[in-house]
Amino acid sequence: MIVLTLTEITEILGGELHSTPTTLSATDTVSGLVDTDSRQITPGDIFVAKPGEHTDGHNFVGIARAAGAVLALVEHTVEEDIAQIVVPDVVVAIADLARAVVARVRAEGNLRVIGITGSNGKTTTKNMLAAILSAQAETVAPRASFNNHVGAPLTILRTTFDTRFLIIEMGASHVGDIARLVSIAKPDIGIVLKVGLAHAGEFGGVERTVLAKSEMVTPLTENDVAILNADDYRVIGMAELTRAAVRTFAVDGDNATFRAADVRSTRTGTDFTLVDAAGAEHPVHLRILGEHHVYNALAALSAADALGIATADAIAALGTLERAERWRMEVLGGRDDVTIINDAYNASPDSMAAAIRTLAQITPRDRRTVAVLGVMTELGELAGDEYDRIALQLVRLNISQLVVVGAEARRLHITAINEGSWDGESVYCEEADAAFEYLSTAIRPGDTVLVKSSNSAGLRLLGDRLGEFFTC
């Protein structure tokens, strides 16, 4: 974070400073990182005592102080020897502090802010763009999937006057969430990847999802750039809602600013030809599996071009990225030529369908495909139809073996059996341990295995176990 005195922070937050002779005082400065997790605190940092559903951050102020925190943002004072600023709501406070910090850096530096949203692909696109931009200048990007009303401000607060690029991943569960994040960060470039059914149940339908995602581009000015997926009619329709200059990317469309041609997927990655606005062609190799990640790469390359970065340099930087993210199309295994694809960090109908297509595409015809699938959360009343659609896809793509894990996903198993004339090709397991016991003997040499579910199912850990079991 930029250097601020405790008085400045207190004024920004409209809070009340409490200090003692043995703690920092009003005129002292801080410039450490800001975090809600006491386990992440290092000397000089600021700890945010955020109340939670199961734990209260105020109970961890002492642990944070012992780890080196010099200031705590609290909603009531605690009996710990550390400077404390009391505010009515610490979550609102970190948003206010982030807004002030990014405004000061923008005013005195050369900061460019890029916001990314979409039902799928945000984290992968963030990582791709971070690989490109960090090769050019100091870049701040979220760790993991820090994309909500807490994570995004914490990312912004890592910005300093040396930061050239700030990437903000913006997720949402309700209409208005992205608008609040945009009001804090004020992006120069806003990227919308896709409008799908992820969180559709929570939003109240796909049209409400469209409204929420459009909040990325509606506040942009004529000096900003909106980067939109031209293959998604709901996304490209947002061009009419923004004053920003619009750039597009596509795989299917011919009129996009950046488009991909000759897409090819293998076990070692994904290749395509980038066709830019001038019609020039550039070969691209991603070490990340899956044709669906071509869209993420196009979005990242489009943003890099808008920032004035040479396409050749951007492509070279993309080629260094070994994986999308932990538990996202992560390739494990290797023993007996068994490939485990652990993609169980999250799952929506679109991302699950894309992962299954990838499984079919990258597996040689003489080898077996195994899909280990769990629950897709937050679909509401759409869940039944979407499980049926995925089951039909599994049958049509002739997936060799289906293993469904967990009661919430059992419909997938039942529908797959009803759709296909299978004899044991679909197996249902109540929990992950049972699935591991089955798969450890059922997987054959040469198999390609996909593990996919929403995070809550915990199948990412099953994927890790399988990867370790089949490690050379």
The answer to whether residues 229 and 249 touch, using CB atoms and an 8 Å cutoff, is yes
Q: In which band, very low, low, confident or very high, does the pLDDT at 155 lie, cut at 50, 70 and 90?
A: very high
Domain 93-318 has CATH 3.40.1190.10: yes
d(CA 288, CA 265): 9
The predicted structure's pLDDT at residue 257: 96
- Characterize 219-257 residue by residue with b for buried, 16 or more Cβ atoms within 10 angstroms of its Cβ, and e for exposed: bbeeebbbbbbbbbebbbebbeebebebbbbbbeeeebb
The predicted structure's pLDDT at residue 201: 53
Q: In which band, very low, low, confident or very high, does the pLDDT at 140 lie, cut at 50, 70 and 90?
A: very high
The answer to whether residues 458 and 433 touch, using CB atoms and an 8 Å cutoff, is no
Residue 206, both tokens: 């796909």
Question: Is the pLDDT reported for residue 198 higher than 70?
Answer: no
d(CA 112, CA 74): 31
- Residue 60: which residues within 8 A CB-CB, separation 6 or more? 38, 47, 49
Question: Is the pLDDT reported for residue 228 higher than 80?
Answer: yes
pLDDT tens, position by position, 297-348: 999 999 999 999 999 999 999 999 987 778 888 999 999 999 999 999 888 8
Q: In which band, very low, low, confident or very high, does the pLDDT at 254 lie, cut at 50, 70 and 90?
A: confident
The predicted structure's pLDDT at residue 422: 72
| H helix runs in 221-277, sequence order | 233-236
Mean pLDDT over each residue of the chain, to the nearest integer: 93
Domain ranges of the chain: 4-88, 93-318, 330-469
Length of the chain: 472
Question: Is the pLDDT reported for residue 253 higher than 80?
Answer: no
Same fold, 4-88 and 330-469: no
The answer to whether residues 81 and 23 touch, using CB atoms and an 8 Å cutoff, is yes
Q: Which of 71-85, 113-127, 258-272 has the highest mean pLDDT?
A: 71-85
For the chain, give the longest Cα–Cα distance. Answer: 77
Q: Which long-range contacts (CB under 8 A, 24 or more apart) does 412-417 make?
A: 412/373, 412/387, 415/387, 415/388, 415/391, 416/391
Domain 330-469 has CATH 1.10.150.20: no
Q: In which band, very low, low, confident or very high, does the pLDDT at 173 lie, cut at 50, 70 and 90?
A: confident
- Residue 30: which residues within 8 A CB-CB, separation 6 or more? 1, 3, 4, 6, 9, 24, 44, 46, 70, 71
Beta bridge partners of 74: 86
SS3 421: coil
pLDDT tens, position by position, 69-112: 999 999 999 999 999 999 999 999 999 999 999 999 999 879 99
Residues in the annotated binding site for ATP: 118-124
Residues in the annotated binding site: 118-124
d(CA 293, CA 299): 10
Class at the top of the CATH hierarchy for domain 4-88: alpha beta
d(CA 272, CA 286): 9
CA distances 251 to 117, 229, 255, 315, Å, are 19, 9, 10, 17
Residue 424, both tokens: 């044991």
Beta bridge partners of 261: 273
Instruction: Write the DSSP string, 332-376.
Output: EE-GGG-EEEEE-S---HHHHHHHHHHHHHHS-TTS-EEEEE---
Its pTM stands at 0.85
